[in-house]
Chain A
């Protein structure tokens, strides 16, 4: 299963995604996608380093599907988080 690594920005609390070069971005489309367990572990290691640097908190990985070449959450929860807004 493909996955991406997310967290909350420490200062704003906003949902952010780990992108290329260990940069945290708000746009899920730009997240680095892990396609193997090893990839995922590598991303998680980068994320934990960012926790140590006090950039983010509450790190975890979640599953995505690739739709039109873009990572797309498979759960409602992650769809809502990635929209950065409630759905009503």
Chain B
């Protein structure tokens, strides 16, 4: 992984020192809240319902064991012994005191971490495929370019005060595992005509109040030219993005107002004007950064290990975990291990200090010191020898992290919701817990097959409800929490925004409604290979509306989507 150089260390240490001084001045009354708020937000410190919340950047979701141990230390010393992995591959601490924040930033700086640009109208943490560097379908490791983008975008003088926040995602694989089409800019590494690599650039995606799937802006930008291209793109957005209306300030609004063709014309005109050589990355600098991401030397191992196969045949839980959470690795004899933080009944994405330390131990002992955070709020050990899978599993069992549900209905994405968040209208976590309990029987969840169920506590959509195969959005309906259900969304290559199925449900009825939706799917699917989203695209929402609201009401006017909230 990338290691800080002297400049990086000095910069982060200086930011930490500045923030300590800012906090001291705030506590002494030399700064008002109005003056201080933008300063704390630039360091990832929010004020939530019960306490300050610190959002720590995990660049493209990559962590070392040492870093994860430090996060555990922070959770234990300054929080309530846990942290919450987020849908931007970051971690949040929910119970932070203002006066402790400078010490926490110092602790983070010791392991080359910080909270810069985890808030504010700037380019936020760049996300990437969590299987980067190990996926069998990868063209090129996207971490190198994610790191280039991180360095380019960090305190970029032009792009620190944009019309609104800005999110990049990068993948280098055939399959989109980074939800790039739901980002302001999504980048996909592709091969050009002569075998050279470049980026297919998508722009204008996003969720929130006005969801859009990103559109293709450029089919192929040579990798060596990507920074100047993105600089041009950002300039067009910075110039024309709306600053008069926060709800219309994201690039998705601009792209759709201008139309993708006009937006492209403006970006290309700006690109033409730029001094590209002053912006694009020199080859030597690319090589310097790429050197940190060289593939590990992995001695080849057999594809099958007799001890693993023997245990698989007698230990049903282990066999299920192998089926659901373990994926092929590009190197023979190795596997990708998904660690679920979605045990039914627990808080999605929450990790105790002890769990973080156990994952760090497993990464050190068996996983080449590599850990990834996924936007589904789980962790990944990207490189585990197949012969070690049994030992890794036993280690996960000790920490209660052996839940076998990756990409299944209980692998629920949920934002913190009204239990913590100042913006939320309704609770997410309790709803997630109740739904997960209904499908807690592992055989039942596995029989349903791949299914994304995502919950957001407000229209800002931190829980990615628009992109869920089943999406649940908390709304305030005359002072009570109600939940709108959407169907058919997808965050993948077949990206789609879910359709509102009908009027919202009160909280207590939501788990039952999900059970009805699943029962309808199981009844109507052609066979187990037809996934939920495939069936939805074949049949639409009518059978689900009939099942949820009754046959007579399914076509009635009172089921109009406008009547929901």
Contact = CB atoms under 8 A, between A and B. Distances in A.
Contact of B29 (A54, A76, A80): A54
A74 B430 CA distance: 20
A54 B51 contact: no
A14 interface: yes
A35 B417 CA distance: 31
B47 A75 contact: no
Given A10-B98, A75-B479, A87-B427, A80 B52 contact: no
A81 B419 CA distance: 8
A66 B246 CA distance: 38
Contact of A88 (B99, B347, B426): B347
A86 interface: yes
Q: Which of B427, B429, B481 has its CB near the most chain A CB atoms (within 10 A)? A: B427
A10 B433 CA distance: 32
A15 B98 contact: no
Contact of B47 (A58, A74, A84, A88): A58
Given A13-B51, A57-B47, A86-B429, A74 B479 contact: yes
Contacts of B433: 88
Nearest to A51: B33
Contact of B419 (A11, A54, A57, A88): A88
Given A11-B98, A13-B98, A86-B420, 8 more contacts: A11-B27, A11-B99, A13-B97, A14-B50, A14-B51, A58-B47, A76-B427, A88-B430
Interface string B28-67: 1100010000000000000111111000000000000000
Interface residues of A, number: 23
Given A76-B481, A87-B430, A88-B430, A12 B419 contact: no
B12 to A, nearest CB: 24
B173 interface: no
A76 B418 contact: yes
B28 A54 contact: yes
Contacts of B50: 13-15, 81, 84-85
B379 interface: no
B404 interface: no
A76 B347 CA distance: 20
Interface in B334-359: 347
Interface string A49-88: 0010110011000000000000000111100110011111
B479 A12 contact: no
Contact of A8 (B27, B47, B418): B47
